[in-house]
């Protein structure tokens, strides 16, 4: 029993050390850039690739996934959140166009081409996914019926 506890403690210590080392390998420019924008980030997980860094974290009830180049510039991001974080111009148009549906989830995708919002709406019959641009112009991209 004692041997199992010691083994478990060693494994936990090794994993902690590995997590610390992985974070320490992140380029200082990238970390500085990240911390200046996301100072309240929690559950931060970094992955290093040959030409960029990927980070996943939470901030203000939003799950965020982002890609940084090696000099600390954010290249793209995906944010998952509820309707209260959706820009008001888009939320108002969605509510007006779909009064019987509620916003279930929003996936916001940003890159060098701009930002798109994939808004999942639900009602008793199923789900509708609406894609909106920054101006609030939107189109239905998918519909799913409940079984």
- Looking at residue 74, its pLDDT comes to 96
* CATH number 3.10.450.360 given to 2-145: yes
pLDDT at 17 over 60: no
Q: Read off the pLDDT of residues 68-84 as tens digits, 9 standing for 90 and up.
A: 999 999 999 999 999 99
Cβ-count burial 91-120 (b if 16+ within 10 Å, e if not): bebbeeebeebebeebbbebeeeeeebbbb
Residue range 31-39: mean pLDDT, rounded: 95
- Boundaries of every domain in the chain: 2-145
- Looking at residue 16, its pLDDT comes to 37
């Amino acid at each position: 029993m004692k041997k199992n506890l010691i083994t478990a403690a060693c494994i936990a210590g090794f994993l902690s050390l590995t997590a610390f080392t992985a974070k320490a390998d992140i380029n200082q420019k990238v970390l500085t850039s990240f911390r200046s924008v996301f100072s309240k980030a929690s559950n931060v997980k970094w992955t290093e690739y040959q030409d960029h860094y990927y980070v996943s974290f939470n901030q203000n009830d939003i799950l965020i996934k982002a890609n940084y180049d090696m000099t600390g510039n954010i290249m793209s991001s995906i944010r998952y959140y509820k309707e209260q974080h959706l820009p008001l111009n888009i939320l108002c148009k969605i509510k007006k166009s779909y009064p019987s549906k509620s916003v279930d989830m929003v996936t916001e995708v940003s890159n060098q081409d701009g930002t798109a919002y994939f808004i999942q709406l639900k009602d008793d019959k199923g789900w509708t996914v609406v894609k909106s641009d920054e101006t609030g112009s939107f189109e239905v991209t998918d519909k799913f019926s409940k079984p």
